[in-house]
């Protein structure tokens, strides 16, 4: 819309002038004060609080200064204990202090700084929820409810898995990256994508890429997004396969979620429509029953035999499940699973946070392990820089969030000034989940940690082999014997815990170790272990289903160019074809990983992190162009620095994966090493013990290497186009304005988690006003 | 200064309790699904107004908290979608009869089938 005046710029519409730019956000300075007319009940009250009143509230009082000083001191004490203190083993409570105080300071000061200088919210401007109000997708939603909703949508298995795997390098590098990364990069990305999508009617990231970057950048962003989605689904599915392989209890309880979800779906459709909360409570009770009954099934002869399934067959089962779940109507499986998953997610995370505070476990891992300075770790290979930064993606910086921040959430926000709380604050919460996962993983015995996370090829999948392998690593203070491994497996109700890679089982052991001290004692460890496995499998299977649907939709859109009918989502044949293609895409990567002689997770997980971070670099690049085109200058560094950092770690990581001559790190180096060995007639190399395995390695490394190239090429194209457009904008050329036109708001809501006195006062007037004008009450009496 | 402000906010709270109850009555008058909740709200609101007795006051406050918890839980789970739809129906002044709760949810799930949304990792 080139004819629309740039909203937010001083020259634009009278109602907008001098608001977004000059005033303090949250109270965008109204040039004219609300005036006495607002006191008449029939007249609409102002949509922004009186700036003078707000300034009064924001003034620094001695109490406030003291409060922030205490937060800073506590945080400082936390960081001192975590990072510098080298006495007795550190207590987990210090991690909580360090992280939470850092988050509070970042939210209050850095988030606010970005809001004031870059975002400049204008509360006189209606959000899509107001101007496109439709009662379904576009509805002004109470900010605190939306915060919960947004958090439940962004937090999945990612922040629970990455930190566990990264714990190989010790707790310190991971902790610093999770906290600093989220403050400077992850939360900034989520906030900015939310903001730019909100100014564009909740447009998706892909659509915004096309609008801002043009055809080439748009296509590259499309291919990057689609392929990244497939790899993420594949690796998440592999985490589930690794957690459930040869675990009768796990297969039984996670398998039961399917009939439970179908029952819930039927209940909601035919028995009591709309009683979502009620059915979630019933479903959750059934889920607990499924976990408890797993012990009886696993211990019975027939159950142990029937559900003890090899990983390859489990992968096949998940592929079939993924196809069926994605072609069935959403009410059958996806929607009820979503309810269960949200219910469990919020419940378990709150429970875990309380348990960590109550139990205060002692950290077993060193601050920096020997592997922090090596490239041959058994859990994942490669040097700390850049591979730690790609191993922990979700929790520090997750590009996938850009999909949620553009899409569902921006259509529900009541006021522009709420974006900081929802976007920035929501991501800080996810980061806290990652910190808790890290704490759980580093509070288990290090010997057990390595035995669980080294590949089966290294440990031979036996307790004796694992003990021998772990002890041969020569790590100080790390040793384990077969009896301990067997006992731990027995405690958690499994036949074996050796080489349960993928992060989920390790987290489950850690969580069981913490939770059983609060509820149930040692006898409950097995329950908590399977509770954790179930909880992660639940998210992941939902992500697999939803990811397949989104990928199918994107592919349908693409194929629609050749055959128009593919764009029609109700054309069943088309839906089956596109679903089958997408399932084949992630399914083949999954099978490849599961059958990989070198272990799978340790070779594929870096690809997952790189993919996710590349998406983040793409999202930040798009934000950079948008804000450059709004006329910002030096403040763009708050986007450019995290974007370039992400670009460096991902591109450097990709280049190492492609070009490194170290076969431990480079996919092609490994490919060539195995190909040459085969050509020389050798029958074993490294962890591959026969010719067939060697051939598999040759094939797998070629696929992995090719995927690396595809991702990095697409992402680099997007980044180059973005930087070029940004430079153009800085020189004043090619300024596009893709924002929706300005609409004056007739709605009020407070900005932060807690309403300020000025906001409360104004809210009271709005409640009175809406009482007389119910036709303006879009939230339906939601003004609380 | 701080004291005065705190008292101010407390009175605002009290006023909001009263008005939210009256908004509830408004909803129940239109005969929507939230009618029952509205009536309950009015009941506790009245109790709060009468409530010189501290027991009634406490009960009213507990009622308010419980209703808020319910509203949050329903909001986060998405259980309030039909209420939102009815509000939209009322606010926009549609003349045709609204969908029944059963029809609404069928339509909602069909819509989700047509427009899939990703979940995060």
User: pLDDT tens digits, residue range A376-424?
Assistant: 899 998 899 999 999 999 999 999 899 889 988 999 999 999 999 999 9
Say how far apart CA B121 and CA B107 lie, in whole Å.
28
| B105 shares contact with chain A (CB less than 8 Å) | yes
Does B74 contact A277 at a Cβ distance shorter than 8 Å?
Answer: yes
The model's pTM: 0.87
**Which tokens in the block code for residue A622?**
């798009």
A382 touches A375 (CB < 8 A): yes
Convert the pLDDT of each residue in A728-769 to its tens digit: 999 999 898 999 999 999 999 999 999 988 899 999 999 999
Q: Which residue has the tokens 């989605």?
A: A229
Convert the pLDDT of each residue in A274-324 to its tens digit: 999 999 999 999 999 999 999 999 988 888 888 989 999 999 999 999 999
Q: What is the pLDDT of residue A42?
A: 66
Q: Which is nearest to A623 in space by CA: A22, A16, A185?
A: A185
Q: Which of A157, A274, A430 to mutate to test the interface with B (most CBs of B within 10 A)?
A: A274
**Nearest chain A residue to B120, by CA:** A154
Does A547 contact B119 at a Cβ distance shorter than 8 Å?
Answer: yes
Does A543 contact B88 at a Cβ distance shorter than 8 Å?
Answer: no
From B29's Cα to the closest Cα of chain A, the distance in A is: 12
Convert the pLDDT of each residue in A595-630 to its tens digit: 988 877 877 888 888 989 989 999 999 999 999 999
Say how far apart CA A508 and CA A494 lie, in whole Å.
12
Q: What is the pLDDT of residue A557?
A: 87
Of A268, A761, A780, the CB nearest to B87: A780
From B44's Cα to the closest Cα of chain A, the distance in A is: 15
CA A717 distance to own-chain centroid: 24
Q: What is the pLDDT of residue A88?
A: 73
> Which chain B residues touch A280 with a CB distance below 8 Å?
77
Buried b vs exposed e over B53-65: b needs ≥16 C-beta within 10 Å?
A: eeebeeebeebbe
Convert the pLDDT of each residue in A442-495 to its tens digit: 999 999 999 999 998 899 999 999 999 999 998 988 989 999 999 999 999 999
Does B116 contact A546 at a Cβ distance shorter than 8 Å?
Answer: yes
Q: Give DSSP secondary structure letters for A111-124.
A: IHHHIIIII---TT
Residue A597, preceding bond cis, omega within 30 degrees?
Answer: no
Does B118 contact A407 at a Cβ distance shorter than 8 Å?
Answer: yes
- pLDDT of residue A136 exceeding 50, the answer is yes
Confidence of residue A4 (pLDDT cuts 50, 70, 90): very low
Convert the pLDDT of each residue in A505-542 to its tens digit: 999 999 999 999 999 888 899 999 999 999 899 989 99
Of B12, B22, B90, the CB nearest to A771: B22
**Which tokens in the block code for residue A464?**
């004796």
Of B101, B108, B117, the CB nearest to A407: B117
Helix A504-515 vs helix A205-244: angle between axes, to the nearest 10 degrees?
70
Does A761 contact B77 at a Cβ distance shorter than 8 Å?
Answer: no
**Nearest chain A residue to B16, by CA:** A764
**Which tokens in the block code for residue A394?**
């979700």
Coil/strand/helix, residue A320: helix
Q: How many CA atoms lie within 13 Å of A133's alpha carbon, on the beta-carbon side?
A: 27
**Nearest chain B residue to A754, by CA:** B9
Does B88 contact A139 at a Cβ distance shorter than 8 Å?
Answer: yes
**Which tokens in the block code for residue A90?**
């550190």
Say how far apart CA A737 and CA A265 lie, in whole Å.
44
- pLDDT of residue A16 exceeding 70, the answer is no
Who's near A322: CB < 8 A, 6+ residues apart? A233, A237, A544, A545, A548, A583, A586, A587
Q: Which of A781, A782, A783, A784 to mutate to test the interface with B (most CBs of B within 10 A)?
A: A781
A757 touches B3 (CB < 8 A): no
B5 touches A753 (CB < 8 A): no
- CB atoms closer than 10 angstroms to residue A720: 14
Q: Give DSSP secondary structure letters for A335-357.
A: HHHHHHHHHHHHHHHHHHHHHHH
| B3 shares contact with chain A (CB less than 8 Å) | no
A292 touches A526 (CB < 8 A): no
From B52's Cα to the closest Cα of chain A, the distance in A is: 23
Q: Which is nearest to A579 in space by CA: A612, A532, A602, A546?
A: A546
Does B16 contact A63 at a Cβ distance shorter than 8 Å?
Answer: no
A198 touches A526 (CB < 8 A): no
CA torsion sign for A567, A572, A578, A582 is positive
Q: Which residues in chain B land under pLDDT 50?
A: 1-51
Coil/strand/helix, residue A125: strand
Q: What is the pLDDT of residue A781?
A: 60
Coil/strand/helix, residue A744: strand
Domain ranges of chain B: 1-78, 80-121
**Which tokens in the block code for residue B56?**
């009634």
Does B121 contact A781 at a Cβ distance shorter than 8 Å?
Answer: no
Average pLDDT, chain A: 89
Q: What is the pLDDT of residue A440?
A: 93
Who's near A685: CB < 8 A, 6+ residues apart? A673, A674, A677, A694, A697
| B120 shares contact with chain A (CB less than 8 Å) | yes
> Which chain A residues touch B99 with a CB distance below 8 Å?
none
Buried b vs exposed e over A310-341: b needs ≥16 C-beta within 10 Å?
A: ebeebbbebbebbbebbbeebbbbbbbbbbbb
Q: What is the pLDDT of residue A687?
A: 80
Residues of chain A above pLDDT 70, percent = 94
- pLDDT of residue A79 exceeding 90, the answer is yes
> Which chain B residues touch A760 with a CB distance below 8 Å?
9, 12-13, 16
- pLDDT of residue A178 exceeding 90, the answer is yes
Q: Which is nearest to A129 in space by CA: B109, B118, B88?
A: B88
Does B105 contact A273 at a Cβ distance shorter than 8 Å?
Answer: yes
Q: What is the pLDDT of residue A257?
A: 95
From B68's Cα to the closest Cα of chain A, the distance in A is: 9
Q: What is the pLDDT of residue A320?
A: 97
| B26 shares contact with chain A (CB less than 8 Å) | yes
Q: What is the pLDDT of residue A518?
A: 93
From B37's Cα to the closest Cα of chain A, the distance in A is: 12
A161 touches A239 (CB < 8 A): yes
Rounded average pLDDT over A647-661: 94
Give the number of A-B residue pairs with CB atoms closer than 8 Å.
194
CA A487 distance to own-chain centroid: 34
> Which chain B residues touch A775 with a CB distance below 8 Å?
90-91, 93
| B19 shares contact with chain A (CB less than 8 Å) | yes
Does B109 contact A401 at a Cβ distance shorter than 8 Å?
Answer: no
């Amino acid at each position: 819309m080139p004819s629309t005046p740039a909203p937010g710029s001083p020259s634009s519409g009278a109602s907008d002038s001098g608001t977004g730019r000059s005033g303090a956000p949250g109270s965008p300075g109204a040039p004219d004060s609300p005036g006495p007319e607002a006191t008449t009940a029939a007249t609409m009250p102002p949509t922004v609080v009186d700036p003078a009143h707000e300034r009064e509230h924001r003034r620094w009082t001695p109490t406030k200064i003291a409060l922030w000083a205490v937060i800073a001191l506590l945080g400082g004490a936390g960081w001192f204990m975590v990072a510098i203190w080298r006495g007795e083993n550190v207590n987990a409570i210090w991690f909580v202090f360090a992280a939470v105080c850092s988050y509070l300071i970042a939210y209050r000061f850095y988030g606010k700084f970005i809001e004031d200088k870059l975002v400049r919210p204008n509360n006189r401007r209606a959000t899509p929820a107001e101007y496109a109000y439709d009662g379904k997708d576009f509805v002004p939603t109470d900010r605190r409810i939306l915060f919960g909703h947004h958090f439940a949508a962004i937090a999945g298995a990612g922040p629970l898995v990455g930190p566990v795997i990264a714990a190989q390098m010790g707790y310190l590098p991971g902790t610093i990256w999770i906290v600093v990364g989220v403050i400077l990069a992850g939360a900034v990305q989520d906030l900015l994508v939310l903001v730019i999508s909100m100014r564009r009617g909740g447009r998706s990231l892909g659509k915004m890429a096309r609008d801002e970057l043009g055809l080439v950048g748009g296509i590259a962003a499309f291919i990057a997004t689609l392929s990244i989605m497939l790899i993420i689904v594949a690796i998440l599915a592999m985490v589930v396969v690794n957690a459930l392989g040869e675990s009768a209890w796990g297969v039984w309880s996670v398998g039961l979620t399917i009939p439970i979800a179908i029952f819930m779906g039927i209940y909601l459709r035919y028995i009591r429509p709309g009683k979502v909360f009620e059915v979630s409570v019933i479903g959750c009770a059934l889920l607990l029953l499924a976990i408890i009954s797993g012990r009886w099934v696993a211990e019975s002869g027939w159950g142990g035999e029937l559900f003890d399934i090899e990983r390859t067959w489990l992968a096949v089962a998940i592929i079939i499940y993924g196809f069926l779940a994605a072609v069935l109507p959403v009410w059958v499986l996806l929607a009820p699973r979503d309810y269960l998953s949200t219910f469990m997610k919020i419940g378990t995370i709150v429970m875990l946070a309380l348990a960590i505070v109550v139990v205060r476990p002692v950290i077993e891992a060193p601050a920096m392990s020997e592997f922090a300075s090596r490239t041959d770790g058994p859990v994942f290979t490669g040097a700390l820089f850049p591979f730690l930064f790609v191993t922990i993606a979700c929790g520090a910086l997750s590009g996938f969030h850009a999909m949620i921040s553009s899409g569902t959430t921006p259509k529900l926000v009541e006021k522009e000034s709420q974006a900081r709380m929802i976007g920035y604050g929501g991501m800080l919460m996810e980061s806290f989940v990652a910190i808790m996962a890290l704490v759980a993983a580093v509070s288990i015995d290090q010997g057990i940690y390595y035995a669980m996370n080294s590949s089966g090829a290294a440990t031979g999948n036996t307790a004796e082999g694992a003990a021998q392998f772990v002890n041969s690593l020569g790590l100080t203070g790390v040793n384990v014997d077969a009896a301990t491994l067997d006992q731990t497996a027995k405690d958690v109700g499994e036949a074996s815990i050796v080489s349960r890679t993928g992060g989920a089982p390790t987290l489950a052991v850690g969580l069981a170790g913490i939770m059983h001290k609060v509820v149930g004692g040692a006898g409950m460890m097995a329950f908590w272990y399977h509770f954790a496995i179930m909880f992660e499998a639940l998210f992941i299977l939902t992500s697999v289903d939803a990811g397949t649907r989104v990928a199918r939709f994107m592919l349908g859109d693409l194929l629609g160019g050749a055959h128009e009918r593919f764009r029609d989502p109700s054309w069943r044949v088309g839906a089956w074809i596109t679903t089958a293609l997408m399932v084949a895409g992630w399914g083949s990567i999954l099978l490849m990983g599961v059958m990989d002689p070198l272990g799978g997770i340790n070779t594929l997980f870096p690809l997952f992190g790189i993919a996710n971070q590349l998406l983040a670099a793409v999202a930040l690049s798009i934000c950079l162009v948008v804000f450059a085109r709004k006329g910002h200058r030096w403040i763009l560094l708050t986007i450019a620095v995290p974007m370039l950092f992400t670009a460096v770690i991902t591109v450097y990581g990709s280049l190492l994966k492609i070009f490194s001559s170290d076969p431990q790190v480079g996919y092609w180096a490994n490919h060539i090493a195995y190909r040459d060995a085969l050509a020389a007639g050798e029958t074993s190399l490294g962890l591959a013990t026969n010719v067939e395995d060697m051939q598999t390695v040759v094939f797998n490394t070629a696929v992995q290497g090719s995927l690396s190239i595809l991702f990095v090429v697409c992402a680099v194209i997007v980044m180059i186009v973005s930087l070029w457009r940004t430079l153009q904008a800085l020189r004043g050329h090619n300024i596009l304005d893709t924002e929706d036109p300005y609409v004056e708001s007739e709605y009020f809501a407070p900005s932060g988690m807690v309403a300020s006195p000025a906001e409360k006062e104004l809210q009271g007037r709005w409640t009175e006003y809406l009482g007389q004008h119910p036709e303006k009450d879009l939230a339906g009496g939601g003004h609380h | 200064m701080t004291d005065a402000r705190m008292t101010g906010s407390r009175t605002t709270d009290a006023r909001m309790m009263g008005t939210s109850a009256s908004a509830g009555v408004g909803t129940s008058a239109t005969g929507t699904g939230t009618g029952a909740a509205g009536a309950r709200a009015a009941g506790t609101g009245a109790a709060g107004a009468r409530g010189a007795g501290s027991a009634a006051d406490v009960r009213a406050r507990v009622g308010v908290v419980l209703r808020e918890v319910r509203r949050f839980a329903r909001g986060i789970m998405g259980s309030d979608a039909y209420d939102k739809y009815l509000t939209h129906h009322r606010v926009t002044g549609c003349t045709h009869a609204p969908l029944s709760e059963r029809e609404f949810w069928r339509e909602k799930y069909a819509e989700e089938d047509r427009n899939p949304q990703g979940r995060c990792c």
